[in-house]
Amino acid sequence: METLEQIKSRLEAAVPAAKIELLPNECPAGDRSLLVDAANGFAVAKFLRDDTQLRLDYCSNVTGIDWPDKEATEKIKGKQVVDGVEKEVEEVKKTLRPGYLEVVYHLYSMELKHGPVVLRLRTENRADKTHLPSLTPLWRGAEFQEREVYDLYGVVFDGHPDLRRILMWDEFVGFPMRRDYVAPDDFEYEPTPHDDVLAQAKKHYPAEPKAEVQS
């Protein structure tokens, strides 16, 4: 199979509007990935599937990742005049990286027996702009897995043929795989807390007043 650099180069020629970045991977598997902008994600995926040299006809896995807001700290060295003397000073600059949701697709070719090519798409944020194109029209095996990511992370897959919860019930509030999700003390189908749930609930109860000791 071609190198990821070669695939990226041909993708940029085939889909010139696409913004494509090669991402490193520090895990033992070391599979680098292609990060593609959401607007051109479907066109890039279609090329990966249909290109005669790639024929990535099988999507084995679809994974969601939640990246909350993160504060980055950077030390900047400069010079400043103090009491008439120029001295080197170090300033700390803090910037906020807005959070986003990410969906990762692992693609293989059953026809040519190679892969994987790892494809990543990211939402604009994790609040009100959580839409990504569904790749189910290209790989039918992604249907239930995209539903799972929708259910647990809140990614809305535009163009999905049947986008609805698959693990949680329809009335469930929130997305339990997000890093800031806080589970309630109890759920509506279990109105009376029991055992571990009761112990968790008691943490929120007001402290009982201590009894006065009479002399």
Mean pLDDT throughout 147-151? 98
Report domain extents, the chain: 4-202
How far is residue 35's CA from residue 176's CA, in Å, rounded to a whole number?
25
Tell me what percent of the residues of the chain surpass a pLDDT of 90. 64
In this prediction the pTM is: 0.80
pLDDT in tens, 14-62: 999 999 999 998 777 777 999 999 999 999 999 999 999 999 999 999 9
Strand runs labelled E in the chain: 20-23, 33-36, 58-67, 70-82, 85-97, 100-109, 114-122, 131-133, 156-158
pLDDT in tens, 193-205: 567 777 777 777 7
DSSP conformation class of 183: -
The predicted structure's pLDDT at residue 133? 98
How far is residue 83's CA from residue 179's CA, in Å, rounded to a whole number?
49
> Pairing relation of β-strands 131-133 and 58-67?
unpaired
> Pairing relation of β-strands 70-82 and 114-122?
unpaired
Superfamily of domain 4-202: NADH:ubiquinone oxidoreductase Nqo5 subunit (3.30.460.80)
